[in-house]
Chains A and B, each alone.
Chain A
Amino acid sequence: MTDKQKKVLYRIIATALLYAVLLVMEHIVKPAFMEQWYVTLVLFLIPYFVIGWDIMYKAVRNISHGQVFDENFLMLIATIGAFVVGEYSEGVAVMLFYQVGELFQSYAVNRSRQSITQLMDICPEYANLEEDGKVSQVDPDDVEVGSIIVVKPGERVPLDGIVIEGESMVDTSSLTGESVPRRVAKDSEIISGCVNGSGLLRVKTTKEFDDSTVTRILELVENASSKKAKAENFITKFAKYYTPVVVIGALLLAVIPPIIFGGNFFDWLQRACIFLVISCPCALVISVPLSFFGGIGAASASGILVKGGNYLEVAADLDTIVFDKTGTLTKGEFEVNELLTADGVSEAELLEAAAYAENFSDHPIAASIKRAFAKEGNEIAAERISDVKEVAGHGIRILLDGAEVFAGNEKLLSDNSIAAVPTEKPGTVVYVAKSGSYMGCVIISDTIKPEARQAIKSLKQAGVKQTVMLTGDRKKAGEAVAKELGIDTVYTQLLPADKVAKVEELLAQHTDGKGKVAFVGDGINDAPVLSRADIGIAMGSMGSDAAIEAADIVLMDDDTTKIAKVVTIARKTLVIVRQNIVFALAVKAFILILGAFGLANMWEAVFADVGVSVIAILNAMRMLRVK
């Protein structure tokens, strides 16, 4: 509890004691002097002032500032009303109960704020800068690129850098939600925000604090609460009208029925006071942003950065998810998958010819062939190669030990009157021929990420209707990947610009407002598509800065199974938001009606105000338990 809260608590206790004494005197002891009404009034005014002086002060002050429908003022009027109608003890009790509720509410909000921000608390406080052999603690902001910092066991890594000495396991869970620690040793890259395990590390910084991972993430998270969801805007707007309407209702209730029906003026005044107490909008205004905040907190605890409550709202409605293939569903690394040899040629011979042919090329396809060759324990002897000639768009021709070798597409071989045996296998195919005869072909494909299949499956389980894959690959290759992953629709042979067009096409199918379209990409050439889709989801560690900037949701550890998790969290958040709105409105409406007919008392009114807030807050906190 804060000091401020403690003071209120003491006042509550003091008032409760005084109040109890007065009640005992009024109902049990019944001393003679309490038969005078003014004595009782004065006696009850003592605890009333103890508990309510700040409310009175604030009410007067805020009115002088032009804040008419202020919570404090409403409570003041309501309790004064109780005194006017002669219900002294009720006047004190309502004020007391209101303060208890307010205290509990502010305590609950503080607690929940703390537990949510703790999830997002990754900011390093200091860096141990090593200069001339001496280590001193400095502000991470003051460390220049290329400085040496020391990260002791248990400390948070303050800046991005490269380990130059030491070995340790680092805990990246606050960044990625990944609970298995990562091993780092000399030359490993290390990102800020991780917590060092048991080893001492010396790190050479590669980025300034402002550009480091931790600052960028904090920036995103802090901005998240400023992007408001529709439900949030609705509720603040609603509150603006709600309070004046109920207050006017209270006025009418106090004036009109007594004139029309006659009857007891005090009775109607009391009903009006009940209206005033219920007219406070705080339960509504507090519970909605708190629920969204909880949702964002729950997401970031699992390594998912959601850039605003509005995106959670959209994510709950996702029915189509479009994936970019390379780098998202696949690793973006090419690997030799298969060697199809012609009769009389061994796989080793084929691979050797291909590797030599591709030796001088930097293309990822060439690199994968060379890698496969090296993996077999071979080495390229460059002196065996002569007369390299690149045939643009088709392949390469070299002389290997004087024999002519072709490596490239089918056309390259047929142009040189060599008959290749075309294959229908998916992937990129490199045909190889030596000394005029066909040797076979090398099939290269991108490797699918191990978790991709599960990611698609869990999305289906989460209720996403359609999964789509976009790729620049050949039809065969793309379709094979889609089939293996269980993706519904695949569009192949797309240029980067076509991807935007395809996403727009899908968006056009969802113009009825129901069902939203998300695009998931790793960021290379994806930024325009990411911002075009209803929700752009980017890969955090692999993606480019531009993509993270353009995306609405960032997966810190590139784990695509987290997409289903975001959808689940978003849906849960929205359920809680709706529960809170409906619950608060229903209770308030119910007590208003009861109050108008004289069936509700002040206690129920205070419950409809602060009690409802507290329940809504507790409900919102359930977000933190989403696993």
Chain B
Amino acid sequence: MKKKFKLQDLDCANCAAKMEDAIKKIDGVQDATVSFMTQKMTIEADDARFDDIMKEVVSVCKKVEPDCVILM
């Protein structure tokens, strides 16, 4: 399943790249992009575990860039 999320307060381009890297490493995530320009995040992950994966995504993003909020 592919899903798109809006991001709020994503202020630094390097953080976006770091977030993307970190999300891609999560188990079950097939692909992820964090676009600094459109302030959007696209995640492609296993259907069955999507909610669990999203929880992990949120916590990973908090680690990298605590100011950035994922709008669900």
By a CB distance below 8 angstroms, the chain A residues around B24 are none
9 contacts between A and B (CB under 8 A): A62-B66, A67-B63, A67-B64, A71-B12, A222-B40, A236-B17, A239-B17, A282-B13, A293-B38
Shortest Cβ distance from residue A215 to the other chain B in the assembled complex, whole angstroms: 13
Is A411 part of the binding interface, using a Cβ–Cβ cutoff of 8 Å?
no
For the complex of A and B, 9 pairs with smallest distance between CB atoms: A226-B33, A286-B13, A285-B13, A293-B37, A236-B17, A225-B35, A65-B63, A285-B14, A225-B37
Q: What 19 new A-B contacts, CB under 8 Å, besides A65-B63, A289-B36? A: A65-B62, A66-B63, A71-B14, A113-B38, A222-B4, A223-B42, A225-B33, A225-B37, A228-B33, A236-B17, A239-B17, A282-B12, A282-B13, A286-B12, A286-B13, A286-B14, A289-B37, A290-B37, A293-B37
By a CB distance below 8 angstroms, the chain B residues around A222 are 4, 38, 40
Count of interface residues, chain A, beta-carbon cutoff 8 Å = 27
Is B51 part of the binding interface, using a Cβ–Cβ cutoff of 8 Å?
no
Q: Give the residue of B11, B17, B40, B64 whose beta carbon is less than 8 angstroms from that of A106.
A: B11
Nearest B residue to A67, CB-CB:
B64
Shortest Cβ distance from residue B12 to the other chain A in the assembled complex, whole angstroms: 6
Q: Is the interface of B mostly helix, strand, loop or mixed?
A: mixed
Q: How far is the CA of A293 from the CA of B9 in the complex (A)?
A: 19
Chain A interface (Cβ < 8 Å from any Cβ of B): 4, 58, 61-62, 65-67, 71, 106, 113, 116-117, 222-223, 225-226, 228, 236, 239, 280-282, 285-286, 289-290, 293
CB contact list, B5-42 vs A, under 8 A: 9, 11-14, 17-18, 33, 35-40, 42
Q: How far is the CA of A218 from the CA of B64 in the complex (A)?
A: 29
Shortest Cβ distance from residue B35 to the other chain A in the assembled complex, whole angstroms: 4
Shortest Cβ distance from residue B68 to the other chain A in the assembled complex, whole angstroms: 12
Q: How far is the CA of A239 from the CA of B9 in the complex (A)?
A: 21
By a CB distance below 8 angstroms, the chain B residues around A65 are 62-64, 66
By a CB distance below 8 angstroms, the chain A residues around B36 are 286, 289
Shortest Cβ distance from residue A59 to the other chain B in the assembled complex, whole angstroms: 12
User: Which of B36, B37, B63, B66 counts the most A-chain CB atoms under 10 A from its CB?
Assistant: B37
By a CB distance below 8 angstroms, the chain A residues around B9 are 4
Q: Is the interface of A mostly helix, strand, loop or mixed?
A: helix
Q: How far is the CA of A4 from the CA of B64 in the complex (A)?
A: 20
Q: Give the residue of B11, B13, B64, B66 whose beta carbon is less than 8 angstroms from that of A289.
A: B13
By a CB distance below 8 angstroms, the chain B residues around A285 are 13-14, 17
Q: How far is the CA of A223 from the CA of B44 in the complex (A)?
A: 13
Q: How far is the CA of A236 from the CA of B34 in the complex (A)?
A: 12
By a CB distance below 8 angstroms, the chain B residues around A71 are 12, 14
Q: Give the residue of A62, A113, A116, A281 whose beta carbon is less than 8 angstroms from that of B14.
A: A281
Q: How far is the CA of A421 from the CA of B62 in the complex (A)?
A: 82
Nearest A residue to B32, CB-CB:
A226
By a CB distance below 8 angstroms, the chain B residues around A113 are 37-39
User: Given A61-B66, A65-B64, A67-B64, does the pair A225, B14 have CB atoms closer than 8 Å?
Assistant: no
CB contact list, B33-61 vs A, under 8 A: 33, 35-40, 42
Q: How far is the CA of A4 from the CA of B11 in the complex (A)?
A: 11
Q: How far is the CA of A457 from the CA of B34 in the complex (A)?
A: 40
Shortest Cβ distance from residue A147 to the other chain B in the assembled complex, whole angstroms: 27
Q: How far is the CA of A58 from the CA of B14 in the complex (A)?
A: 15
User: Which of B18, B33, B38, B39 counts the most A-chain CB atoms under 10 A from its CB?
Assistant: B38
By a CB distance below 8 angstroms, the chain B residues around A67 are 18, 63-64
Shortest Cβ distance from residue B33 to the other chain A in the assembled complex, whole angstroms: 4
Nearest B residue to A72, CB-CB:
B12
By a CB distance below 8 angstroms, the chain A residues around B62 are 65
Shortest Cβ distance from residue A332 to the other chain B in the assembled complex, whole angstroms: 35
Shortest Cβ distance from residue A311 to the other chain B in the assembled complex, whole angstroms: 16
Nearest A residue to B14, CB-CB:
A285
Q: How far is the CA of A290 from the CA of B4 in the complex (A)?
A: 20
By a CB distance below 8 angstroms, the chain B residues around A280 are 14
Shortest Cβ distance from residue A151 to the other chain B in the assembled complex, whole angstroms: 28
By a CB distance below 8 angstroms, the chain B residues around A116 are 37
Shortest Cβ distance from residue B39 to the other chain A in the assembled complex, whole angstroms: 8
By a CB distance below 8 angstroms, the chain A residues around B18 are 67
Nearest B residue to A243, CB-CB:
B14
Shortest Cβ distance from residue B34 to the other chain A in the assembled complex, whole angstroms: 9
Q: Give the residue of A62, A117, A228, A282 whose beta carbon is less than 8 angstroms from that of B38.
A: A117
Q: How far is the CA of A236 from the CA of B40 in the complex (A)?
A: 18
Shortest Cβ distance from residue B69 to the other chain A in the assembled complex, whole angstroms: 13
Shortest Cβ distance from residue A528 to the other chain B in the assembled complex, whole angstroms: 24
